Structure 1
Amino acid sequence: MFTGIVEEIGTVHTIKKGSTSMQLTIRCSHVLSDVKKGDSISVNGVCLTVSEFSKTEFIADVMPETFKATTLFTLNPGSHVNLERAMAANGRFGGHFVTGHVDCIGEIVAVRPIENAVYMDIQMEPELHSHLVPKGSITVDGTSLTIFGISEQGFTISLIPVTQADSVLGHKRVGDYVNVECDILAKYLERIFSKKQTTEPTGGLTMDVLAKSGFLD
């Protein structure tokens, strides 16, 4: 579990690519301070497992499903990535619940600097729009953000100066692709209510419903 508060921007050192898999070596410092083999580190919002590490870098394997479902396949040596360690039980919860399981790849379709903020419009798969809530949470490349607006294409976020400086989003441009993870609470609620609609009668509260729920003997 992560919070979406980026701890460090790392640099991809080397990449070993298969046809639908890859192994990343990422140079960094802060997230290695207490790292252990098997730890989880979010790389641009994707939960990866540390397989090897040194004082200056760590290695993580990207399996075929992750390779196909995220933007990691677009990385090259020298690419910068957002890094966050899994949240410690005694840590501050500064962002929101982030799993590191990407829902879709979004495309940046507009970038608008306004005063000290940067507004960014991101297009995403229509079937996921039901997970978007005005003023709700969204994770973009591992960064916890607030949904500023919702459109037929997707959603708008606003980057404050610290986010522009301390995450890779500050360098993104129109046409770039990003990893998007919707708020897990919205996904759970949709799952619960969609299941109820397919298993319960639509006639409202009836004697049959009360009996099935254990209110009647």
Structure 2
Amino acid sequence: MFTGIVEAVGKIVALDSGRDSVRLGVSAARIAEDVSIGDSVAVNGVCLTVVEIAAPQLTFEAVYETLRRTTLGQRRVGDPVNLERALLTNGRFGGHIVQGHIDGTGRIASIRPVGDSWFVYIEASQDLLRYVVTKGSVCIDGISLTVMDADDKAFSLSIIPHTWENTTLKDRHAGDSVNIETDIIGKYVEKLMGGWAPGGGRGVTLDLLSRSGYIESEPEASRRW
């Protein structure tokens, strides 16, 4: 698990593409000093496993499903990437719950400076936007960010100078694709509240809550549908 607090910006120094996979070599600066083979590292928000270490370079493998759902297949040698090691149990939880499991990609519609900050507008599909809420959390390229506003086509973010200077956001432009991981809590709540349940049921419903004694049932005639 991660928190979306980027520890360092690395650089892709090697790419070895296979038929349905890619092997990435990343110059990882100080991140490489405290990882082992098999450790998880979020690379632009994608949870990848360290398969080789030649400090300061780390090597990862990304398979077809990862390439299909993320922007990793679009990256080139020389591109910067956000890096975060997995959260230690005694570490500070500075961002929000981030799994490193990308839900899909979005497109930067525009970036504009406003005072000392930058407003970033990101367009995404309805499947992703349903989990993006105003003042909620979202992970963009591995960065834990607060949603400034959201509608049915896009959402906006206000980026403070520290985040701008210490992540890959300063290298992004309108039209660029970004990895998006929505808040896992929202997805669990949707499922429990009736999106799906084993055996074809509807999960937690008003009827179930009433029968379980959590709410007082109403006479049939007084119900409004």
Superposition TM-score, scaled by structure 1 size: 0.91
Q: Which residue is 2:202 aligned to?
A: 199
Q: How many residues align structurally? A: 210
Supply the distance in 2 between the matched residues of 1:145 and 1:190 (Cα, whole angstroms).
22
Find the counterpart in structure 2 of residue 87 from structure 1. Answer: 87
Aligned partner of residue 127 in structure 1, secondary structure: helix
Distance 1:201 1:178 in 2: 34
Distance (whole Å) between structure 2 residues aligned to residue 203 and residue 30 of structure 1: 52
Cα distance in structure 1, aligned partners of 2:168 and 2:209: 54
2:218: which partner in 1?
none
Q: Percent identity?
A: 39
- AA aligned opposite 1:181: E
Aligned ranges for residues 15-164 of structure 1 at < 5 Å?
A: 15-164=15-164
Q: Is the 8 A contact 1:80 1:168 kept in 2?
A: yes
Runs of 4+ in structure 1 over 6 Å off: 200-203
Counterpart of 1:214 in structure 2 is none
- The alpha carbon displacement at 1:134 in A equals 1.1
* Residue pair 1:126, 1:154 contacting (<8 A) in 2 also: no
Equivalent in the alignment of 1:189: 189
Cα contact 2:32–2:55 (8 A) shared by 1 = yes
Other structure's SS at 2:16 match: strand
Are the aligned partners of 2:147 and 2:157 in contact in 1 as well (CA < 8 Å)?
Answer: yes
Distance 2:161 2:35 in 1: 29
8 Å CA contact 2:43–2:142 kept in 1: the answer is yes
Q: What RMSD over aligned residues (CA atoms) do the two structures have, in Å?
A: 2.0
- Relative to structure 1, is the Cα distance of residues 13 and 93 closer, same or farther in structure 2, using a 3 angstrom cutoff? same
8 Å CA contact retained: 1:12, 1:25: yes
What is the Cα deviation at residue 202 of structure 1? 6.5
Moved more, 130-139 or 78-87: 130-139
Contact 2:33 2:56 in 1 (8 A): no
The one-letter amino acid paired with 1:90 is N
1:179-212 CA distance string (max 9 Å, x none): 00001111111111123694369773698x349x
TM-score of the aligned structures, taking structure 2 as reference length: 0.88
Residues 103 and 181 of structure 1 are in contact (CA less than 8 Å); yes or no, is this contact kept in structure 2?
yes
Whole-angstrom distance in 2 between the partners of 1:27 and 1:202? 50
Amino acid at match of 1:8: A
Residues 202 and 84 of structure 1, relative CA distance in 2, 3 Å threshold: closer
Change in Cα spacing, 1:205 to 1:177, as seen in structure 2 (3 Å) is closer
1:215 — aligned with what? none
Aligned mates of 2:112, 2:176 — CA distance in 1: 15
